[in-house]
Each structure stands twice: as structure tokens, then as C-alpha cells.
Structure 1
Amino acid sequence: MGIKALGYVVITTAKQAEWDRFLTQVVGVMAAGHTPDGAALYRIDDRPFRFRIEAGADERLFAAAYEVDDAAELEALRAQIVALGRPVVAGTADEAAGRGVAAFFRTSDPAGNGLEFFHGDRRDDVAFVSPAGVSGFVTGEMGMGHAVFAAPNFDETYAFYKAIGFGDTDVPRFHFSDDPNDPGMGFAFMHARNGRHHSVALGQMPVPPSGCVHLMLEMKTQSDVGKCHDRMRLNKVPESASIGRHVNDQTFGFYMQTPSGFDLEIGADPLVIDPVTWVPTAHLQPSEWGHVWAWQKAMEEQAAQQEQASQGEKA
């Protein structure tokens, strides 16, 4: 019982060519052709695709899709989500075939973030070959990676994910200033039924136009991560956060901006948990070291410029 893992993501964009360059040349995933309806597919392992990139007017993560065991569990989850007051739309047989699943439905959480749930995942024997030389991505039972969503109605949205079967891994409240009156920002890092520290996470913040804060992919080695960081720089992709290591999941990695505006975290060597025996934590800070964010760099540069101007006036 419960949610198994993140299976795939669906992204809508008017920048399909940019996404192709980003995924193949920077991230190093493998192009897997197009569907009859024009969606571009990209793979990172033995699943026919993990990224489905659809043409659309909106730049956004349309859905993060999570797997359950079988048809009975999918129906039970559908009924539960309906009872929680969320809209549910069943995918057609053609849509399911195009996603490489037996059946699925669409819904959204109380903050409006797009979700799909499915069963009957498909695999094939096509070898994954990275065009950028990535040695591989860590998937298997732990799934594609994780998705992080914004939830201004944090308590309601967090309760929704608890109700449908995600478990607490780390539920902190982060403070990003020295102001003693800063109420902080609620976060929830939640695991599925596998060893990945979190398959979904929520941050108490406004929902961005892209419908996503970030996605995460795990590479097999720190060397793979470092080489990807070099490709990001050489391809002039905006860096969102420098290389660092998280406190809670111990992931070594960095963040960069996707063509649709949300971030992609590239990491390696995370903590692997036992979802059955794990005792939830509440860490006080997100990073052990590194992870200097673009907004932090901008504030530091602005402060330096102001200090320089002040010194000039005194002279």
C-alpha cells in the first residue's frame, strides 16, 4: 500500500528546442523520440521516458506523476482524493499508452499543483546512453527523483499529502533572516514507499507561474555532478544555487534554471532511509555548506556596491 515513487513528469512549453538542448547537452539525458501528438520524450534509464515535453502556451510543470501498485490501489486513491474535495480526471486509454502505463488519472493538490497517479509502469531493454557522457542516473525502486512544490496554504496542502500516503521525513521551519520577528517558512520533506529521503516536498510560499519550485535528478557519482556543473557554465545556463551539501538528505549538488523558469537540482550521494522505521526530523537549516543562491549573491553584490558608493562619498 502507499505511493511507490515519482515516475515521470509532464512539462508544457513554447521552448521545446531550448528544452531539448538543456536536457541533452547540459543535463545529459537521452532523447527518445516523439509521440504521435508531438510530445518530445527523454529517458534516464530503462523506462521509455521520464520527461514528457509538450507544446503549450504556458511554461510550467503540468504534472508530477506518482506510481501505485495496481488497479485496485489506483481506484482506492482516486476515491480518497475525490473525498478530499479535489477534482479528478481519468486518463484515456490512448493517453495511458502514451505515458507507458496501464491507467492513470489527473488531479491537483489544494495549492493547485498538478499531479498524476498511475499503475502498470512499463520498462524496455533499450540501453540508456547519455549524449554528454553521464555514467548514469539513480532510479530503480527510488523512482525518477523528487518534486518540490509551493504551498501558500501550507497546512491544508501538507495534510493532503499525508492523507494520500506520503510519510514525514523532515518537517522543519527555516528562517532566512536574522530578524527575531521573522516567522520563518514551513517546509515538509515527505517520502514515498522507498529509500529516497523525499519524493515530494512543500514550501510555504506563493505558487510560481511555472507551477514548480524544482525537480531533482540523482546522478551516480559526484564527478558526474561536477561535469554537469561545468556544462551548465559553458552553455550559459543560469545557476540558481552553487554546489553544496544539504543537511537533511545529505545530497551533494547544485541547482540551475530550466527553460521554463523552475529549477533542476542535480545531486549525488544522498542519505537513503528505511521508510518503515524512519523517525521524522526537523533540521534548522537547509544546507551544511555551499548552496549560495542567486538571490543571495545579488544581495551581497548590492550591499558591496552601496558600501563602495558610501566610501566614495566620504572621500
Structure 2
Amino acid sequence: MGIKALGYVVVETEKAAEWDRFLTEFVGAMHAGDAADGTALYRVDDRVFRLAIKPGTREWFVAAGYEVESRAALDALAEKVAAAGRSVEWASADDARARGADALFRTSDPAGNGLELYCGDARTAEPFVSPIGVPCFITSDMGMGHAVFSAPNFDETIAFHCDVLGFRQTDMPRFELFGPDGPSMGFAFLHADNGRHHSIAFGEGPVPPSGAVHIMLEYPTLIEVGKAHDRMKRFGYPESATLGRHVNDQTTGFYVQTPSGFDLEVGCDSLVIDPATWETTRHEAISTWGHEWAWQKALKEQQGEQA
């Protein structure tokens, strides 16, 4: 058995109040109280939290937390990570409980991206109630959603996630983001032991200043995505990519910049795969329609000014 699913993410920030408004009034997450160290916890389902917003002195994506099947599987994974030359830092029992886990260790991949691997997923009987009326988020055994990182040492990093951690390839494209005459960029979309198309993904390039590229949350319907798009415009949050539909995971949605600088993908109708029989694809396009990126808009404006 490999990785079950993305359980949670941890963010360090100086903008805790901005994050609270972003998550509760825009996303529709439920504030589930604060940990002993002041970390604000937010729910989108029956897990005790999915997003941990930790007060600090920088804007930084600390870690993505991935669940494994059992303590035996976690111990075996820790041995493999150490044998691969990566650090293994076991959390104390109290720290693990604060993450909603029975046991947990921290590490990083060869690109330095923060990871937490854990077993035991704490749930609550208290109903999820969105403060703005979002009926639910699509999670269940597919986990929270996905996290996307960058890796300058792309091949080494992908090998670590597949050969050591146990993710498997879903889609392995090279995108020509700057046209056929420009450089292409490798991407890796990797799935866990569930039906979500990818639980983690990587772009070939330097680690961004925020520590991550984006995370994704899935709404139940296009109506909820559209309502979120309206809220984004009403609050004046920067749109990182317009509404569109991806080729590989078929998600329809948009991207918005979080208070810490990385993006949140808000989407719906994502493809559900059979992880046991899926064969790797290599799509050549990012989107079937839409998804004009902020950098593309800026490039057009610059070219217009120079014309």
C-alpha cells in the first residue's frame, strides 16, 4: 500500500486575520477552533481539520500531510525515506494528536518541499456547517484535494515520490507554455490509492517564494464554483486564472491567490479514476477551454504597450 490521500495542509503566515476571512467568507470553510500554539484550524468535512493556519514571521507553505494505511506502513515508509537520504523527524504524541493523527513524521523531498506522513485520521461527529452555506466539499476517501509544488531537480524529485513514497503516475506531460518556439516544461501528476486524478503534482522549475504552487478544493457543483467566483470578485481577491476546464483531470474551475501568495484552485466535476488499473497519460494541453493565466494577461499587456 502507498499513500491513501492528502489529509491536510499547514501554512505559516503573518496574515492570520486575512486567512480567516479568506477561508470562512470566501471559501466557506468552518473555523474549528485554535490549537494550543495559536494555529487556527479549518474544516471542510468531518475531519478535525483540513487547513492549519499557523502564526509566524513569513508567508510559507509548511507542509502537505499525507495519510498512510497503518502504523506498520508508516514505520516502513520512514525507513525507506531515511534510506533515501532524507531526514525523518518523528512528532511527539501531543504534536501528532494536534494534527489529528495517531503517529506522524516530518520530512522533505529532494526539492525541499515540506511533507508530513501520518496514520490515524481523527474525525468528529460535529456536523460541518459552512458559514456561507456551501453544502459540502468533495472529499471522502479521496482526501482533501491536491497540492502542487515545483522542483528544479524534477526527475530526482519525481523518483522520490514514486519509488520511495509510493505515489503513482497519472499524467506526465510537457507543456509548451510559451508557444512552440519557447522552452517546454515538464509536469508530473501523481495519484494516491484513491480515485482522485492527482493528490500531488509538480512543475519543473524553482520553488516559489511561498513554498508551493497551489492547493485544490473541490465543490459539489458548478453553481457553487460560480458563486465562489462571484465572491472572489466582490472581495477583490487576485484571480490567477480565469474559469476553464482542464484536459487531464476534467476539473472545471478557476484559480485565486491566497493571502500567502500561492494559489487556490476552486473546481468541480473532477475525473475519478481507478488507481489500480490507470495507465499513464501524456496530455499536450492544459485546458480544453478557458484558464487564461494572470502572467499571460500581463504578457499581452506588455506586448501591447511595446507595439
Measured against the shorter chain, the TM-score band is: over 0.9
Q: CA deviation at 1:132?
A: 1.6
Specify the alignment match of 1:241 in structure 2. 241
Q: Distance in 2 between matches of 1:265 and 1:225?
A: 10
Q: Are 1:96 and 2:96 matched, yes or no?
A: yes
Q: Distance in 1 between matches of 2:239 and 2:13?
A: 20
Q: CA deviation at 1:21?
A: 0.5
Aligned residues: CA RMSD: 0.8
Q: CA deviation at 1:194?
A: 0.2
Q: Distance in 2 between matches of 1:2 and 1:210?
A: 28
Structure of greater Rg:
1
Residue identity matched to 1:147:
A
Residue identity matched to 2:174:
R
The 4+ residue runs of structure 1 with deviation greater than 6 A are: none
Residue identity matched to 1:253:
G
Specify the alignment match of 1:109 in structure 2. 109
Specify the alignment match of 2:177 in structure 1. 176
Specify the alignment match of 1:25 in structure 2. 25
Residue-pair matches, total: 306
Specify the alignment match of 1:227 in structure 2. 227
Q: CA deviation at 1:300?
A: 1.4
Residue identity matched to 2:294:
A
Q: Map Cα deviations across residues 158-210 of structure 1 (whole Å, 9 max, x no partner).
A: 00011120010000000112353x34100000000000000000100110121
Residue identity matched to 2:218:
E
Q: Distance in 2 between matches of 1:39 and 1:144?
A: 19
Q: Map Cα deviations across residues 189-240 of structure 1 (whole Å, 9 max, x no partner).
A: 0000000000000100110121100000001111111100111110010000
Specify the alignment match of 1:167 in structure 2. 168
The residue correspondences of 1:52-91 to structure 2 (distance < 5 A) are 52-91=52-91
Q: Distance in 2 between matches of 1:303 and 1:149?
A: 29
Q: Distance in 2 between matches of 1:281 and 1:100?
A: 35
Residue identity matched to 2:306:
Q
Specify the alignment match of 1:133 in structure 2. 133
Matched position secondary structure for 2:79: helix
Q: Distance in 2 between matches of 1:140 and 1:188?
A: 24
TM-score (norm 2): 0.98
Q: Quote the sequence identity (%).
A: 61
Q: Are 1:293 and 2:296 matched, yes or no?
A: no
Q: CA deviation at 1:272?
A: 0.4
Greater shift, 123-132 or 257-266, is seen at 123-132
TM-score (norm 1): 0.96
Q: Distance in 1 between matches of 2:83 and 2:144?
A: 28
Q: Map Cα deviations across residues 136-163 of structure 1 (whole Å, 9 max, x no partner).
A: 1000100000000000000000000111
Specify the alignment match of 1:6 in structure 2. 6
Specify the alignment match of 2:199 in structure 1. 199
Q: Are 1:277 and 2:285 matched, yes or no?
A: no
Matched position secondary structure for 2:95: helix
Q: Distance in 2 between matches of 1:178 and 1:14?
A: 38
Q: Are 1:251 and 2:284 matched, yes or no?
A: no
Matched position secondary structure for 1:67: strand
Q: CA deviation at 1:243?
A: 0.4
